[in-house]
Amino acid sequence: MPPSKPDFLRLTLGPLLLMAVTPALGLLVWVVTIRHGGSVVDLVHSASVASIARELPVPSAEAVAVMIGWIAAQYLLLRLLPGPEHLGPVTPAGDRPRYRLNGIAAWWVTHGGLVVAWFSGVKIGRLYDLWGPILATVTPAAFVVCLLLYAKGRLAPSGRDVTVTGNLLFDFFQGVELHPRLLGVSLKQWINCRVSMMGWSAAALCFAAKQAELTGSVSPAMAASVALQVAYLYKFFWWEDGYFGSLDIMHDRFGYYICWGVLAWVPSVYALVDLFLVEHAPATGYAAASGIVALGLAALWINYDADAQRLTFRRSNGTAKIWGKPAESVRAPNVTWDGQRRENLLLLSGWWGVARHFHYTPELLLAFAWTLPCGFGVALPWFYLLFLTILLVDRAGRDDKRCAAKYGVVWDEYRRRVPWRIVPYLY
């Protein structure tokens, strides 16, 4: 029987279009930012297909060396720095992935090393000059990594959580292994957390250093944006064990969607704001910059508090107080992969009574805050916020479908009591 139209769109056409478009789009973001001042209109008016091709960055030996050095350094920090072992949630096949909780130590070593290098006279802003060649290097290289991951999942999987649908394209896009390991570490932790997210934070510092090298100081706009991003990413590593219970880690397999995304799309798009601000920072005053930082830190605190409420609730087995009152919840019986009957508690109090995926709201507000220093003269710096909105809306929808299948009528009751997905009265 031929696949239905929705299945064809989701399993074949959608992945094919994403894999065809995202590599070129990631490189074009750099072209528009560096060659056209962030103006898509200028690109369209002044460039032809041939001229755009000439403007694309190309790989370089120095970029390859930087990438290899970065990946190796983050592996060594993950393996060698002290930290307790953490067991992640039980997988559908009954395994428990293992992680080393030393993210904060790795953050301090990484960022401390950059600061020491800067004050020692090392031009760490050189990363800005190499960013195009790095993107041109990692974009195809990450595709090769995904091919190797697919082969590993088929021939030498790390555990029992392997899913093969028979659709080669979708299996490559989505991945076949849930928790692949290599050289004694979780590849999701090494690549997602340390190579990608740590790299985003380090790039923010290096781009600020580049602006100082060019102008003699860091502008208030750049300082505000970098401060918020670095604070957000420090919080990410402070809460790294919580990330191991997220949708990315627990349910999404490790293929093009996740692996290529964190290796190539994150440096292309997530670091866009600071890349733009190096040479195009608006004349933002210290008062406005302080207001932006205050807005971002408020959003970050709300995000942290929402995560803390849920964690406290789970650790107390539903007996905790939230906002001064006993936590309300819905009991949700479910059946595990091996037929065992279990019961989860769905939180209805605090931020989680406001929206089912409320933690996405302050995350969007924080991204809005660190993009504000770019102003509204050109649209491209706002691309990350647009992408993040689409990503989180899709993720909330996927999580709702998964929970509806898992909890049945109880999920209907939960949705009745918490009707909004992300933003109250809007979505």
| Count of beta carbons in the 10 Å neighbourhood of residue 31 | 19
* Separation of alpha carbons 106 and 77, rounded Å: 6
Q: Does residue 4 surpass a pLDDT of 70?
A: no
* Contact present, 194 and 78 (Cβ < 8 Å): yes
Q: What is the mean pLDDT of residues 182-197?
A: 96
Both 277 and 298 in a single domain? no
**pTM of the full structure:** 0.91
Q: Is residue 410 very low, low, confident or very high in pLDDT (cuts 50, 70, 90)?
A: confident
Q: Distance (Å, rounded) from C-alpha 399 to C-alpha 412?
A: 14
The per-residue pLDDT for 339 is 61
Residue-level pLDDT at 33: 95
Per-residue pLDDT at 5 exceeds 80: no
Q: For residues 9 and 11, give the distance between their C-alpha atoms in angstroms, rounded to a whole number.
A: 6
Q: Is the pLDDT of residue 3 over 60?
A: no
Question: What are 384's two structure tokens?
Answer: 């990350």
Distance between CA 243 and CA 196 in Å, rounded? 14
Q: How confident is the model at residue 338 (pLDDT cuts 50, 70, 90)?
A: low
Do 252 and 258 meet the contact criterion of CB atoms below 8 Å apart?
yes
The reply to whether 377 falls in a domain is yes
More confident residue, 22 or 311: 22
Q: Are 269 and 384 in contact (CB under 8 A)?
A: yes
Nearest to 56 by CA among 30, 81, 79, 77: 30
Any domain includes 4: no
Residue 340 lies in a domain: yes
Percent of the chain with pLDDT over 70: 97
Instruction: Compute the distance between CA of residue 166 and CA of residue 163 in angstroms, rounded to an integer.
Output: 9
CA dist 60 and 40 (Å) reads: 26
CA 237 – CA 164 distance, rounded (Å)? 32
Going by pLDDT thresholds of 50, 70 and 90, the confidence category of residue 317 is: confident
Q: Is the pLDDT of residue 337 over 70?
A: no
State whether 250 and 361 are in the same domain: no
What is the mean pLDDT of the segment spanning 316-325?
A: 88
**Structural domain tally of the chain?**
2
Section 129-151 average pLDDT: 97
Q: Is residue 32 part of a domain?
A: yes
How does pLDDT run across 201-227, given as a tens digit for each residue? 999 999 999 999 999 999 999 999 999
Q: Does 243 fall in a domain?
A: yes
Question: Of 38-47, 72-81, 93-102, 374-383, which one has max mean pLDDT?
Answer: 72-81
Instruction: Tell me what the pLDDT averaged over the chain comes to.
Output: 92
In a domain, 201, yes or no: yes
Backbone angles phi, psi at 222, to 5 degrees: -65, -45
Last residue of a domain, one of 223, 249, 281: 281
* 267 lies in the same domain as 320: no
Q: What is the mean pLDDT of residues 388-398?
A: 91
- Same-domain check for residues 204 and 342: no
- Asked if 87 and 96 touch (Cβ cutoff 8 Å), the reply is yes
Question: Over the stretch 138-148, which tens digit does the pLDDT of each residue have?
Answer: 999 999 999 99
Which is nearest to 140 in space by CA: 58, 196, 17? 58
Do 269 and 295 lie in one domain? The reply is no
Say yes or no: 205 and 317 in one domain. Answer: no
Q: Is the pLDDT of residue 36 over 60?
A: yes
pLDDT score, position 2: 44
The verdict on 322 and 233 lying in the same domain is no
Residues 141 and 226 in one domain: yes
Q: Is the pLDDT assigned to residue 66 strictly greater than 90?
A: yes
**What residues make up the domain containing 49?**
9-281
Does the pLDDT at position 1 exceed 50?
no
Q: Are residues 205 and 86 in the same domain?
A: yes
Most confident of 263-267, 281-285, 346-350: 263-267
Residues 120 and 48 in one domain: yes
SS3 letters for the chain? CCCCHHHHHHHHHHHHHHHHHHHHHHHHHHHHHHHCCCCHHHHHHHCCHHHHHHHCCCCCHHHHHHHHHHHHHHHHHHHHCCCCEEECCCCCCCCCCEEECCHHHHHHHHHHHHHHHHHCCCCCCHHHHHHHHHHHHHHHHHHHHHHHHHHHHHHCCCCCCECCCCCHHHHHHHCCECCCEECCEEHHHHHHHHHHHHHHHHHHHHHHHHHHHHHCCCCHHHHHHHHHHHHHHHHHHHCHHHHCCCHHHHCCCCCHHHHHHHHHHHHHHHCHHHHHHHHHCCCCCHHHHHHHHHHHHHHHHHHHHHHHHHHHHHHCCCCCEECCEECCEEEEEEECCCCCEEEEEEECCHHHHCCCCCCHHHHHHHHHHHHHHHCCCCCHHHHHHHHHHHHHHHHHHHHHHHHHHHHCHHHHHHHHHCCCCCCCCCC
C-alpha–C-alpha distance, residues 199 and 300, integer Å: 20
Of 236, 253, 281, the last residue of a domain is: 281
Question: Given this model, what pLDDT does residue 116 score?
Answer: 97
Given pLDDT bands bounded at 50, 70 and 90, which one contains residue 364? very high
Residue 153 has pLDDT above 60, yes or no: yes
- 344 occurs within a structural domain: yes
Q: How many CA atoms are closer than 13 Å to the CA of 124, on its beta-carbon side? A: 21
Where is the domain boundary, 281, 302, 318? 281
DSSP strand pairing (321-322 vs 341-347): unpaired
Task: Look at residues 45, 395, 377 and name the one whose alpha carbon lies nearest to residue 247.
Answer: 395
- Flag whether pLDDT at 41 surpasses 80: yes
What residues contact 111, with CB distance under 8 A and at least 6 apart? 201, 202, 205, 230
Task: Please tell me the distance from the alpha carbon of residue 383 to that of residue 389, in angstroms, as a whole number.
Answer: 10
Is residue 185 pLDDT above 80, yes or no?
Answer: yes
Same domain, 249 and 378: no
Contact by Cβ (8 Å): 79, 98: no
Q: Domain check: are 239 and 374 in the same one? A: no
Q: 251 in a domain, yes or no?
A: yes
